[in-house]
Chains A and B, each alone.
Chain A
Amino acid sequence: MKKKIGVYVCHCGGNISDYVDIEKVKDAVKDEANVYLLKNTLFACSDSSQKGMVDDIKTSELDAIVVASCSPKLHVPTFRGVAARAGLNPYNYVQVNIREQSSWAHSDQPTGATEKAILLVKAGIARAAESQALTPIKIPTTNATAVIGAGIGGMRSAIALADMGTEVYLIEKEMSVGGHVANWGNLFTANINGNELAASLHNEIKKRPNIKLFTNAELTEKKGSIGNFDIKVKSGNETLPLHIGAFVVNTGFAPYEPVSGEYHFGEYDNVITLPEFKKLIDTPASELVYKGKTIKKIAYIYCVGSRQDEEGDNKYCSRYCCTAAIHSSIQVKSKFKNITNLHFNRGIRTYGKQELHYEESSKNGDIYLQFSLDSIPQIEKKGNKTIVKVKDILTAGKELETEADLIVLVTGMVPRKNENLTNQLKIPVGRDNFFNEIHMKLRPVETVIDGVFIAGTCQSPKNILETLNSSMAAAAKANSILTKGEMSLEPTLAMVNPAACNLCDNCFEACQFDAIVQTEYEGRKVAKINVSNCKGCGMCTPVCPTDAIDLADFTNAQIESMIDALTE
């Protein structure tokens, strides 16, 4: 069928026309099949040009348009809008990039740039001729969310979601809520106790009828896709089926456990970890005593299990430990008399307001010594004395030693081992083995699995403030998708022609998003696309031996005709 195609070649001020000979381009494509109208524009994106296009489409009853201007990243939404306003299906518009790909890339060779632009425009016309009208796919969504993990982050997510009108199922593995924080005493910068913080959030949860809390519970089954997941939650002996639209995963961290012998941990009885030390100073007593010995001099060794060398897995900084250790050292000094704190660190990272703690501790007379990874502090026993030796960077690498009654290993965070959940949700993990977001700045709480959001320390080490920030961000993101009751997906998805499909398995292997399922067609088993999982990546189309799979808006017919035009 012959189509009426309108072609617009843009000057982009001089950005294109200074190097690409626009008249030559027009001349070369004017006789192409299907070209009904051919115009050049000074700025295709300007209001007047857009209006002109709308008029052209209406008066000439165009079937498709081609805009040869800049990168599709910039103006595809603009010209899709033009098409829609003129009553043309937006997918009958094709963008050709003759600025980034021609004039800018080949500004030193105007002749070549013009030749390339001609081919690109010809290919665009060929693609437009094969274009089809498509409609975005609408799927209904359930305004309910499963929040996994009822630590302070999970509880905060649940409260935020509930207040925005989303039904929340809060699923906690342990018998009680609050996670690690519930076991902690005084918390830095806030001057509140961990158990109080957890209890106040728990109270808020109880006040909200649209939050259902399951303790001693875990996710046992997950089916479906964004907007409509069918899950099963096992709580105690009961298993409940639930229908939800999204997940907020807030499963937290595990404290790093030093390996046996690391700084003589497990060998010397006065070498303990930071969590153990926090517990020790939280117990009410007038004197600091550990294993029957009065403690006066405390050596803190930083970055244990974090920022490791080539041999260790944990390359990252755990972010909270510097401040937590300094905070504890201030606590211990204010609670007990004649305490001396010695901080063996690798550079103090008390960023933001936490810096005030560092300053307070320094002014208290705490001594900071800095070591590098190639010369870590050595701990020795001399009789019943424990000696710490260090090459102090701040004293020009001088070797210093001190006696210490207690050695506190400032341990960081590691990802919590939770194979069941990882298998169920298939959230990818990063090099640090924490769950991975799509983009740390632009899409910080979304994962590549649509409908699965992550927050808190299951994503990366965070302090409480950062955990709560990301928990609320994830809640807002989940709610914004579910609250409308339906969501539209790009129609650029794979399609299976069941008549041609022999169900060879190739496409199942190629698909990374579990978007291909089996179905029945005329008594045969064939492949089918689950549209809510399909990302339109196109990995399945080239592996199909019978060409049974096609990708909408990038059909085989379109691509082949473009190749023909380019190789003419």
Chain B
Amino acid sequence: MATINPEFGKELKKYGAFDYNACYNCGTCTAICSLSTETDSFPREMVRLSTIGNEDDIKASLKPWLCYYCGECSSNCPRQASPGELMMSLRRWLTSVYDWTGLSGLLYKSLPLSILAFLLTAAAVIGFSIRENFDLERIMHVGHYFEMIAIGSVFTVILLPNIIRMWWFVIGKPKIKVPAKSYFKALGELFVHMFTQKRALGCDNNQFRWFEHFILVIGYLTLLFTTVFLDWFSSSNLFIIILGYIESIIVFGVTIDFVSSRIKKSKEVSKHSQPSDWFFVIWLLLMGLTAFIVRLFIDLNILEQNSWMYLFHLIILAQWAVIIVPFGKWTHFLYRSFAMYMAKLKIQS
């Protein structure tokens, strides 16, 4: 017996959902969705659970992550209830539910708080630079180590506990019995989806968007590897230098297209941007672009005179690493692939 909770709608609307109450349960959204199946049927079911405010069932559901937002459901909804955007909002809400610190929710719901967080991070980087008397070599050295430390600590302190929480809501709490060996057998699913987003190909007419997203992910991950482990900015290996250039061009090239489509609102998926969406694409763009310019300045030998450029890059990098990666939209990279992994576990239970 679940209790009807009309207040849930008010909370969910802070995450971007709107007008899903208008739904009259015709099921057109589910019928038209190319990813919905008989066993995993959505989005109507999620619209319904949101309407009656059944938080427990939503927390236990992987369906928001199984949707890759082609937008067909929203453009065909006879009541303009925007089921696609509801699924998007549920992903934001779930992200904040999984996050044990509670910071995700605060940042999603409050733009002023997000801006404050960005300003504080920038101030910290600038403050550190002042303490170091703007010694570029020293700052770049620390910046390089900061990246490594940030990756390690964000993952162990924030992301890993959050994924365990996700497992708890989806599998632990509903007492789904999964044989231990399944956890190993399903690992393939996790990595395939993490690095290819294969499922998104199931969306109709989505090949180009999938391809853009795919090379962006590869570009981003390899750029991360190139800067952190191959030390792109200090490297004199021609191969590494060119590799870094290509990767950073991919990152800002693709994100320019993403930002412009959000500005033009040409597709259903880009019509309703929340601040978290803007931060994500713009910071990704700036990361690629500033990394590219920094390396260019190094190669032109003008970085010494323009050390502000590296400072700017470091500010973007810090904001990305301590705000967007642990508490922002970056997490969908993990939750989407772990959702596919846990879906496989549920099948094998």
Contact = CB atoms under 8 A, between A and B. Distances in A.
A366 B3 contact: no
Interface in A367-416: 367-370, 389, 392, 394-396, 398-402
Contacts of A359: 22, 79
B23 A367 contact: no
Given A359-B22, A366-B21, A367-B51, A402 B4 contact: yes
B207 to A, nearest CB: 34
B6 interface: yes
A368 B24 CA distance: 8
Contacts of A358: 24
Given A394-B48, A395-B54, A400-B52, A362 B22 contact: yes
Contacts of A362: 21-24, 79
A338 to B, nearest CB: 11
B100 to A, nearest CB: 29
B19 interface: yes
A398 B54 CA distance: 11
Contacts of B9: 365
B19 A363 contact: yes
A369 B23 CA distance: 12
Contacts of B1: 389, 399-401
Contacts of B6: 340, 342, 365, 367
A400 B2 CA distance: 5
Contacts of A398: 2, 54
B21 A364 contact: yes
B22 A392 contact: no
B4 A401 contact: yes
Nearest to B53: A367
B49 interface: yes
B274 interface: no
A401 to B, nearest CB: 5
A396 B1 CA distance: 13
B235 interface: no
B153 interface: no
Q: Which of A358, A394, A401 has the most CB of B within 10 A?
A: A394
A359 B24 CA distance: 8
Contacts of A363: 19, 21-22
Interface string A346-370: 0010000000001100111111111
A394 B23 CA distance: 11
A348 B23 CA distance: 13
Interface in B1-33: 1-4, 6, 9, 19, 21-25
A400 B51 CA distance: 12
Interface in B43-62: 45, 48-49, 51-52, 54
B24 A401 contact: no
A369 B52 contact: yes
B4 A400 contact: yes
Q: Is the interface of A mostly helix, strand, loop or mixed?
A: strand
A376 B87 CA distance: 31
Contacts of A370: 25
Contacts of B79: 359, 362
A362, A392, A396: which has the most chain B beta carbons within 10 Å? A362
Residue from the set A366, A398, A401 with the largest chain B CB neighbour count within 10 Å: A398
Contact of A399 (B2, B48, B51): B2
Contacts of B19: 363
A402 B3 CA distance: 6
Contacts of A399: 1-2
Contacts of B51: 367
Interface string A313-350: 00000000000000000000000000010100000100
Nearest to A297: B6
Contacts of B23: 362
A460 B22 CA distance: 32
Contacts of A364: 21
A401 B3 contact: yes
Nearest to A365: B21
A401 B23 CA distance: 21
Nearest to B45: A396
A435 B54 CA distance: 47
Interface string B49-80: 10110100000000000000000000000010
A331 B6 CA distance: 19
A389 B9 CA distance: 21
A364 B52 CA distance: 14
B122 to A, nearest CB: 40
Interface in B321-348: none
A394 B2 contact: no
Contacts of A402: 3-4
Contacts of A389: 1
Contact of A367 (B2, B45, B49, B52): B52
Contacts of B22: 359, 362-363
Contact of B2 (A342, A348, A366, A401): A401
A351 to B, nearest CB: 14
A395 B45 CA distance: 7
A407 B79 CA distance: 28
Given A362-B22, A363-B22, A394-B48, 5 more contacts: A340-B6, A342-B6, A367-B4, A400-B4, A401-B2
19 contacts: A342-B6, A359-B79, A362-B23, A363-B19, A363-B22, A389-B1, A394-B25, A395-B52, A396-B45, A398-B54, A399-B1, A399-B2, A400-B1, A400-B3, A400-B4, A400-B52, A401-B4, A402-B3, A402-B4
Question: Nearest 7 pairs between A and B by C-beta?
Answer: A402-B4, A363-B22, A362-B22, A365-B21, A394-B25, A399-B1, A340-B6
